[in-house]
Amino acid sequence: MTHTARRPTRRPLSRERVLEAAVRLADTSGLDAVSMRRLGTDLGVEAMSLYHHVSGKEALLDAMVEHVGAELNAEIAAHEAAGAPDPAKDWRAALRARALAARVVMLRHPWMPSVLESRTEMSLEVVRYFDGVVAILMAGGFGHDLTHHALHALGSRVIGFTQELFDPGDGEDTSEEVLAQMAQVVPNLMAMLADVAHTDGPEQTLGWCDDQTEFEFGLDVTLDGLERRRELRG
Amino acid sequence: MTHTARRPTRRPLSRERVLEAAVRLADTSGLDAVSMRRLGTDLGVEAMSLYHHVSGKEALLDAMVEHVGAELNAEIAAHEAAGAPDPAKDWRAALRARALAARVVMLRHPWMPSVLESRTEMSLEVVRYFDGVVAILMAGGFGHDLTHHALHALGSRVIGFTQELFDPGDGEDTSEEVLAQMAQVVPNLMAMLADVAHTDGPEQTLGWCDDQTEFEFGLDVTLDGLERRRELRG
DNA sequence: ACCTGAACACCGTTCAAGT
DNA sequence: ACCTGAACACCGTTCAAGT
């Protein structure tokens, strides 16, 4: 065995390599693990070397969003090539398909929602995604004004996620005593939870509780409400 | 003038005083300013003294949420005492009024949404708020199952905010050149923006772009969609 | 019981120095 | 041009010591 084979081949660092490593690190170990120092270690390099490829931590996060945004648009393009609903015929189906396709990408990167929301400058790739959403709504007969309102009403759902408020909780450590106490303080909520008893098997979560069924329900409710507005104004 | 008057009266630190200072600090200087050291300085005390009243940074954030949650429920109670819509007669009006009342509190604490979403354990006061939401939906004729779905569909809107994806941007530094370039890449979006041209005056923002008009539009769209589901199933 | 100061293990970032 | 190491100014938190 040679000497050169022993030490890991040190490809020169590149912006692309930095971003791939950062996204992978966030995917596997969570966003908190993404520090300049840790990222440097993963790449076999000093943290300070990263500054030759990204101007700082914030720029790194911007670039990570852009990286996933590109993945997102590639996914959408693939869907469209494979035959997607025609927005002029059925805007609802077209938008629904787009949101669900986006969701697949988002589920691969659970840290994306929170980083996306923390950005002060917005990603060109993500804007491009929204441009496609606008195109669908306009083709569906929404005016500019209603399209604008619709974007706000749909919020993050149109890009495949909803940032839920609570982790539903594992329910493992909730003793009978605690449950009885809760029933006193929040009786309506407890009665509801006892009745619905989530038994849908393993849920796909994105950040917090946000399973597929609830995501689609919320999306459809919003699409229904928008369709009504369109009929009224259109 | 006496000596005792000169140095700031040093009331003994209490949990309440710590929480009030933390909330005020977050309100005025943003969440990033809330560090144990900075908070200690504000209270005229070493950072380590705080650990006698909160067990750590995470516990402090939990307690801040609980503090605002209490303010939220007090606001709701005041609204109800002043005469709120009867949910049995008009669940829509009752829920709408509750969400808008909650929003007033949220606007006083723009950091609340992000902290709320980052909590792993949920606040009793906030849960109490949701218990009231469940009560309204049940009184309005939703079953337990539909009430559960409705909570997911409404998401954070029911507690007075939507976490918008983008800051609309000041538009101050967007040159003609950049606009022309954008029109190439995202033509649909640019056409829409040119048409709607936000001129509603100063917008109330909560975190990101989330003005009152858009908030109410999104809320009403969701309420419409839910009412339809209720009619179908009820 | 309540508060302190030093210390530890982390951050992001600057800067002068190496090759 | 690319990478390094020491240094700076911050974190949260532990722990032994003070009153």
B6: pLDDT strictly greater than 90: no
**Hey, are the CB atoms on B130 and A159 less than 8 Å from each other?**
no
A5: pLDDT strictly greater than 50: no
B12 part of a folded domain: no
Instruction: Report how far apart, in Å, the C-alpha atoms of A215 and of each of A57, A108, A229, B61 are.
Output: 32, 16, 21, 28
What is the rounded distance in angstroms from the CA atom of residue A129 to the CA atom of residue A107?
17
**Hey, are the CB atoms on A155 and B138 less than 8 Å from each other?**
no
What is the rounded distance in angstroms from the CA atom of residue B124 to the CA atom of residue A168?
14
Q: What local confidence, expressed as pLDDT, does residue B205 receive?
A: 53
Q: Tokens 């708020």 label which residue? A: B129
The CATH number given to whatever domain includes residue B125 is: 1.10.357
A202 part of a folded domain: yes
Q: Could you say which nucleotides of strand C lie within 7 A of any protein CB atom?
A: 2-6, 10-15
DSSP B65-121: HHHHHHHHHHHHHHHHHTT---TTT-HHHHHHHHHHHHHHHHHH-TTHHHHHHH-SS
What is the rounded distance in angstroms from the CA atom of residue B130 to the CA atom of residue B95?
11
- Please report which confidence band the pLDDT of residue B168 belongs to, taking 50, 70 and 90 as the band edges: low
- Please report which confidence band the pLDDT of residue B211 belongs to, taking 50, 70 and 90 as the band edges: confident
Candidates A163, A169, A187; nearest CB to B163: A163
What is the rounded distance in angstroms from the CA atom of residue A149 to the CA atom of residue B96?
18
Amino acid at residue number A184: Q
**Hey, are the CB atoms on A138 and B188 less than 8 Å from each other?**
yes
Tell me the pLDDT tens digit for each residue of A41-70: 999 999 999 999 999 999 999 999 999 999
* Chain B residues within an 8 Å CB radius of A152: 162, 164, 214, 217-218
What number is the average pLDDT over the span B65-89? 96
- Please report which confidence band the pLDDT of residue B203 belongs to, taking 50, 70 and 90 as the band edges: low
Q: What local confidence, expressed as pLDDT, does residue A208 receive?
A: 45
B101: pLDDT strictly greater than 50: yes
Nearest to A223 by CA among B176, B197, B2, B224: B224
Q: Tokens 């998401």 label which residue? A: B155
Q: What local confidence, expressed as pLDDT, does residue B20 receive?
A: 95
- Please report which confidence band the pLDDT of residue B38 belongs to, taking 50, 70 and 90 as the band edges: very high
* Chain A residues within an 8 Å CB radius of B178: none
Please, what is the average pLDDT of chain A?
86
Q: Of A3-12, A193-202, B110-119, B125-134, where does the model show the most confidence?
A: B125-134
Of the listed ranges A124-128, B11-15, B131-135, the one predicted with least confidence? B11-15
- Please report which confidence band the pLDDT of residue B121 belongs to, taking 50, 70 and 90 as the band edges: confident
Question: Structural domain tally of chain A?
Answer: 1
A:36-75 Cβ neighbours of strand D under 7 Å: 45-46, 48-49, 52-53
Of the listed ranges A132-136, B22-26, B168-172, the one predicted with least confidence? B168-172
A204 part of a folded domain: yes
Tell me the pLDDT tens digit for each residue of A142-158: 999 999 999 999 999 99
What number is the average pLDDT over the span B92-114? 96
| Chain length of chain B | 234
Q: Does residue A130 sit at the B interface (CB-CB below 8 Å)?
A: yes
Q: Does residue B123 sit at the A interface (CB-CB below 8 Å)?
A: no
Q: State how far residue A142 is from chain B, nearest Cα, in angstroms.
A: 11
Query: Does the CB of B30 fall within 7 Å of any strand D atom?
Result: no
Q: State how far residue B228 is from chain A, nearest Cα, in angstroms.
A: 9
What number is the average pLDDT over the span B67-71? 97
Q: What local confidence, expressed as pLDDT, does residue B193 receive?
A: 86
Please, what is the average pLDDT of chain B?
86
Q: What local confidence, expressed as pLDDT, does residue A4 receive?
A: 33
More confident of the two residues A165 and A52 = A52
- Our measurement of CA B54 to C1' D11, in angstroms, reads 17
B10 part of a folded domain: no
A205: pLDDT strictly greater than 90: no
Q: Which residues pair with A206 in a beta bridge?
A: A208
B55 part of a folded domain: no
Candidates B116, B126, B225; nearest CB to A224: B225
What is the rounded distance in angstroms from the CA atom of residue B85 to the CA atom of residue B105?
19
Angle of CA points A54, A163, B137, to nearest 5°:
165
Q: Does residue A173 sit at the B interface (CB-CB below 8 Å)?
A: no
- Please report which confidence band the pLDDT of residue A203 belongs to, taking 50, 70 and 90 as the band edges: low
Candidates B148, B185, B207; nearest CB to A192: B148
What number is the average pLDDT over the span A193-209? 61
B45 part of a folded domain: no
More confident of the two residues A180 and B229 = B229
Residue of chain A whose alpha carbon sits nearest to that of B135: A188
Crossing angle for the helix pair A212-233 and A144-154, nearest 10 degrees?
160
Candidates B156, B167, B225; nearest CB to A165: B156
B200 part of a folded domain: yes
Contact A135, A83 (CB under 8 A): no
Query: Does the CB of B52 fall within 7 Å of any strand C atom?
Result: yes
Query: Does the CB of B37 fall within 7 Å of any strand D atom?
Result: yes
Q: State how far residue B156 is from chain A, nearest Cα, in angstroms.
A: 7
Residues whose CB is less than 8 angstroms from the CB of residue A203 and which lie 6 or more positions away in sequence, other chains included: A209, A211, A212
What number is the average pLDDT over the span A161-187? 73
Residues whose CB is less than 8 angstroms from the CB of residue B17 and which lie 6 or more positions away in sequence, other chains included: B11, B43
CA closest to D1 C1', residue? A52
- Please report which confidence band the pLDDT of residue B171 belongs to, taking 50, 70 and 90 as the band edges: very low
- Please report which confidence band the pLDDT of residue B173 belongs to, taking 50, 70 and 90 as the band edges: low
- Please report which confidence band the pLDDT of residue B210 belongs to, taking 50, 70 and 90 as the band edges: low
- Please report which confidence band the pLDDT of residue B23 belongs to, taking 50, 70 and 90 as the band edges: very high
Q: Does residue A33 sit at the B interface (CB-CB below 8 Å)?
A: no
Nearest to A153 by CA among A229, A86, A216: A229
**Hey, are the CB atoms on B127 and A164 less than 8 Å from each other?**
no
- Please report which confidence band the pLDDT of residue A163 belongs to, taking 50, 70 and 90 as the band edges: confident
What number is the average pLDDT over the span B176-200? 81
* Chain A residues within an 8 Å CB radius of B192: 134, 138, 144, 147-148
Q: Give, as one character, the DSSP assignment of residue B155.
A: G
Query: Does the CB of B226 fall within 7 Å of any strand D atom?
Result: no
**Hey, are the CB atoms on B148 and A220 less than 8 Å from each other?**
no
A86 part of a folded domain: yes
What number is the average pLDDT over the span B35-45? 94
Domain that holds residue B163: 82-233
